Amino acid sequence: MRRRQFLSASLAVPLAYAAESGTATVRGKLTQLEGKAPALETQEHKFIPLGGDLATLGVLQDKRLAGVDLEALGEPSPGGAFQVGPIHTKAMFVHKDGSRLLITYWCDLCSIRTYTPGVCWCCQEETAVDLRKPEAE
């Protein structure tokens, strides 16, 4: 019986933490104005500045994603900004043709997938944006 109680308690802790973390969602058109932080333009034409870790900012500043319908998961910050979750949490999605797609980058030559833009670590060629269904991950 003690094993069952331990398992119940150990499963409840992550669930309680997830409920307390209060992940929020914002969605809108990704805008990238020169000299300003990336932002989402909502349907109400309100601009929400976006922040995040270095890898997340790399994605948000990728010119190939300018103007996409972007959904970001994270937490509101003081002053109306929004802090996108760290890159390892896969917190950014593009909505396209009725599908919610995860932003990834792919090297056709080496068949290597990454989650930030840049050159392939193997062949040094630029990786391509590859939007994928989250279930494929």
Closest to 67 (Cα-Cα) out of 96, 101, 91, 44: 96
Topology given in CATH for the domain delimited by 23-136: OB fold (Dihydrolipoamide Acetyltransferase, E2P) (2.40.50)
- pLDDT tens, residue by residue, 29-68: 999 988 899 999 999 999 999 999 999 999 999 999 999 9
Overall pTM surpassing 0.75 (yes/no): yes
- pLDDT tens, residue by residue, 69-100: 999 999 999 899 999 999 999 999 999 999 99
Q: Which residue has better confidence, 13 or 69?
A: 69
- Strand-pair partners of 114: 105
Give the chain's length. Answer: 137
Burial of 43 (0-12, 13-18, 19+ CB in 10 A): exposed
